[in-house]
Amino acid sequence: MIKAYSLGLKPKNGKYYEGVTFEQIVELYLFNSNFRQLLFTEIEQIEINLRCRIANYHSEKHGVLGYQDDAFFRSSGYHRDAMKEINKEIRRNSKAPFIKNYKENYDTPEIPMYAAVEVFSFGTLSKFFKNMASEDKKAVAKTYGVNYTFLESWFESISYVRNICAHYGRLYNAKLAKTPMLYKEYSKRGVSGIGIFGILCCMKHLLPNDRHWGDFVQSIQNLFEKYPTVDKNTVGFPEDWSEILLR
């Protein structure tokens, strides 16, 4: 743990810079833990919202079993692999109320989209969206008011960060392997998709409740005040970060 949070506090394979204390490293760990929990809660809302929008749209457009038909997707091979993963999750969750209830009350063994989507991981959901026909992706993206190529990138990156949070990973001073496409308005202000702040800029467009989003931004501000040794730059936060997120 100490090694991970000491990045930036000493040269590679060298001694700590003068003035660095153990308490400072503990503070970075605590900041990361609290920040991760804040972020995970917001990502959960995005995930649930996305489940509903995709399931409702796809079922209405292609029927409740349309998700099983590769004719409605861009790549049949990609769809085949996805269905293997989905069916595996359905079997694994066979005793879950939404699966069990359907099997007990209906004769057909086929699970409809509105029940199957409940066992999709965020990663599976992201892949499912990526493989949808372009016109279907455009329709879902329109409900968010964004271009589907951006939305596709955002979901993939947010899913990646979600897994970091779920596995108690480090967001502090982390370079993200899955980086989102950013609007020029953010790039012009020096925001990079490599750091976690770029992810927050994307999430801003997917959580439309202004009051709730304002509370979330304030919670981050409270964290920075609680842990003053945290360098905002190490999580990709520019000086005017709150102004950017609240615009």
| 11 is a domain residue | no
| 196 is a domain residue | yes
| 16 is a domain residue | no
pLDDT (tens digit per residue) in 57-79: 999 999 999 999 999 999 999 99
| 134 is a domain residue | yes
pLDDT (tens digit per residue) in 126-176: 999 999 999 999 999 999 999 999 999 999 999 999 999 999 888 988 889
Angle at alpha carbon of residue 116, lines to 160 and 146, rounded to 5°: 50
From CA 5, how far away is CA 24, in angstroms rounded?
Answer: 10
Beta bridge partners of 73: 132
| 210 is a domain residue | yes
| 146 is a domain residue | yes
CB environment 169-207: b (16+ within 10 A), e (fewer): ebbbbbebebbbbbeeebeeeebebebbbbbbbbbbebe
* Residues 99 and 93: beta-carbon distance below 8 Å: yes
Residue 208's nearest CA partner among 49, 58, 51 is 49
| 6 is a domain residue | no
> The domain containing residue 198 runs over which residues?
23-246
- 132 secondary structure, DSSP code: B
Percent of the chain with pLDDT over 90: 60
Q: Provide the pLDDT for residue 22.
A: 75
From CA 33, how far away is CA 51, in angstroms rounded?
Answer: 27
Q: Provide the pLDDT for residue 40.
A: 96
| 136 is a domain residue | yes
Number of domains the chain is built from = 1
From CA 56, how far away is CA 117, in angstroms rounded?
Answer: 10
Residue with the larger pLDDT of the pair 211 and 3: 211
